[in-house]
Chains A and B, each alone.
Chain A
């Protein structure tokens, strides 16, 4: 499959959404709204739920399946209030010692007038900084589009996984082609060059594993029975979360935060080589 086919698949409006994952992988979901600073953002959906009987905080980008739903959740593009809402419920998870599971699926943070006015940059930066210090396990799964800082803003996790046909990139292939080649028509070529597939990211060491979509068309149509193929996908997600939580069992609170810090501090270590040791000590 070509990279651009994965991009189109990742964006397919009929792919399962966060609501499907929460409904089928967790139980007893209690939704939490609001940033408690004056705003609510429908593009971030989250709350408390049980995972195999244990409380967790689960949240992620919300995309809709219909135009109406998508308008209500701004096509999964959060404003600063969305990132602040996410951070609010993650801080609460830390307080009550609940693991955090995030589902990433966004075309990017919303490039709007109000979003800039209320500090889009500051909100994302704060999430990146604060998530790196959380003292509970954080697991992120990129389920569709993981585009730019808007995706990373809820994905500073101990373990990051991608669905087989998800993408994760610095920006959209259209944007990439437009910036570097001044031609957004070259998106297919851009998708190839950018190395944004799950296999590419695993190779880079940026993600920890790939969740297979085999045997699943990954479309959930309203009112239709969940097919066996979907059930298999939800089971695979369940197993991946279970395995990740098990790996992080026995870590102290400080060790959990340190493990995540080290992961991101050294995420590009294989690309950093120095010809000679920096002469910092001598200045």
Chain B
């Protein structure tokens, strides 16, 4: 039933809709994301009761001594029940043991500072030591401005550690969710052995507004969306949230030893 012809037709229709009325098509994919939290995600992709969160216990970081930054983080910790913009641990997906990290955009748009970068690195290092795959769901507005140059350095730090994990034979799977931009998209988010993306997700280096200001023209509909990246060859597969666990399980099965 899912012949290649049907798939092509489906894709063609999808793009046609996208061109004619992008909001209608993208809304259902994006809107629920606002409510779909880190723990919903973990519940949906992991085997029941298998997720065990790492017990990280970082001290406060504020390298620029930026005014109001620490207070803001403290408020968000109460609201989100996360110490920073990422949750990491181990779990099973379809019976396969993996290290899993999920970024939490309710925490300062999941921007990347020292703590977040360090958690990505330590999770990759843990996966390397245990010889298990590393799956990460990315979402981010980019670098954590409040941490200045140290946030920029997270790009080099995480990329180096991920590369090492991959060079030593580790399987690294990234799932790009809405939105994955800036310093995160230009580091560990786009280094996957396998790169999945959710439909309609905005993925790019520069934000659409900055690009429009730079080039002085409106961007075409669907620009920087997951489908656009797929068309230009930067995504292995677009996978809907409902099919995510199945897709991950298949990939893990294909890499199992």
Closest to A156 in B: B156
Q: Is B155 an interface residue (CB 8 A)?
A: yes
For the complex, count residues of A whose C-beta is within 8 A of B.
Answer: 58
One of A91-99, A209-217, A244-252, A266-274 contacting the partner: A266-274
Is there a chain B Cβ closer than 8 Å to A106's Cβ? Answer: no
Residues of chain A within 8 A (CB-CB) of B232 are: 117-119
> Counting CB contacts under 8 A, is B177 at the interface?
no
- A280 to B90 Cα, complex, angstroms: 9
Are A124 and B205 touching (Cβ within 8 A)? yes
Q: Is there an interface contact between A170 and B145, defined as CB atoms closer than 8 Å? A: yes
Whether the pair B211, A176 counts as a contact (CB closer than 8 A) is no
Give every chain B residue within 8 A of A179 (Cβ-Cβ).
145
Contact for A278 among B56, B219, B233, B234, CB less than 8 A = B56
A264 in contact with B153 (CB, 8 Å):
yes
Q: Is B121 an interface residue (CB 8 A)?
A: yes
A196 interfacial contact with B, CB 8 Å: yes
A195 is an interface residue with CB less than 8 A from chain B = yes
Query: Could you say which residues of chain B place their CB within 8 Å of the CB of A112?
Result: 206, 211, 214-215
B186 within 8 A of A: yes
**B160 pairs with A278, CB closer than 8 A:** no
* Distance to closest chain B CB from A156 (angstroms): 5
B83 to chain A, nearest CB (A): 11
Is A193 interfacial (CB-CB < 8 Å)?
yes
- Is the pair A113, B189 in contact by a Cβ cutoff of 8 Å? no
Residues in A whose Cβ lies below 8 Å from that of B66 = 193
Provide the bound-state CA to CA distance between A282 and B54, in Å: 9
Is A111 touching B58 in the complex (CB atoms < 8 A)? no
Is the C-beta of A27 less than 8 angstroms from some C-beta in chain B? no
Instruction: Please tell me if the beta carbons of A267 and B157 are within 8 angstroms of each other in the complex.
Output: yes
A113 lies within 8 A of B145 (CB):
no
CB of A103 within 8 A of chain B? no
Residues of B within 8 A of A110 (CB): 214
Q: Does B128 contact A (CB under 8 A)?
A: no
Task: Please determine whether A125 and B188 come into contact, CB atoms closer than 8 angstroms.
Answer: yes
> Which residues of A, 168-225, contact B by the 8 Å Cβ criterion?
168-171, 176, 179-180, 193-196, 200-201, 204, 206
* Complex CA–CA separation, A124 to B214 (angstroms): 20
- Chain B residue contacts of A276, Cβ below 8 A: 57
- Chain A residue nearest in CB terms to B64: A195
Name B18-52 residues within 8 Å CB distance of A: 52
Rounded to whole Å, the gap between the CB of A7 and the closest CB of chain B is 14
Specify the main secondary structure of chain B where it touches its partner.
helix
Residue interface bits A248-265, CB-to-B below 8 A is 1, else 0: 000000000000010011
When distances are taken between beta carbons in the complex, the residues of chain B under 8 Å from A121 are: 185-186, 189-190, 203-205
B157's partner among A116, A170, A264, A280 (CB-CB below 8 A) is: A264
- Which stretch from B7-15, B162-170, B236-244 is at the chain A interface? B162-170
Q: Mark B162-201, 1 if CB is under 8 A from A, else 0.
A: 1110010000000000000011011111110000000000
Chain A, residue nearest B229 (CB): A119
- Closest-CB distance, B32 to chain A (whole angstroms): 25
The residues of A that contact B150 with a CB separation of less than 8 Å are 204, 206, 267-268, 271
Q: Does B95 lie at the interface of the complex (its beta carbon under 8 Å from any beta carbon of A)?
A: no
Report the Cα distance A200→B58, complex, angstroms.
Answer: 24
A132: Cβ under 8 A from any B Cβ: yes
User: Does B224 have its Cβ within 8 Å of any Cβ on chain A?
Assistant: yes
CB-CB nearest in chain B for A260: B160
A196, A201, A280, most chain B CB atoms within 10 A: A280
Looking at the assembled complex, report how far the CB atom of A275 sits from the nearest CB atom of chain B, in whole angstroms: 4
Given the known A-B contacts A122-B190, A271-B114, A274-B59, are A280 and B205 also in contact in the complex, defined by CB atoms under 8 Å? no
Contact check, A148 vs B152: say whether CB atoms are below 8 A apart. Answer: yes
A125 touches B187 (CB 8 A): yes
Beyond A116-B224, A268-B150, 17 additional contacts (C-beta under 8 Å) are: A109-B186, A115-B206, A124-B187, A148-B183, A169-B152, A193-B64, A194-B64, A204-B63, A267-B156, A271-B150, A272-B59, A273-B58, A278-B54, A278-B57, A279-B55, A280-B55, A283-B54
Q: What are 10 contact pairs spanning A and B, CB under 8 A?
A: A109-B205, A117-B228, A119-B233, A121-B205, A125-B190, A149-B186, A171-B143, A268-B118, A272-B114, A272-B115
Residue positions of A touching B, CB distance < 8 A? 109-113, 115-122, 124-126, 128-130, 132-133, 148-149, 152-153, 156, 168-171, 176, 179-180, 193-196, 200-201, 204, 206, 261, 264-265, 267-268, 271-280, 282-283
Q: Please list the 10 inter-chain residue pairs (A to B) with the smallest Cβ-Cβ separation, ordered nearest first.
A: A279-B55, A111-B206, A132-B160, A128-B159, A129-B163, A121-B185, A120-B205, A283-B52, A273-B59, A124-B186
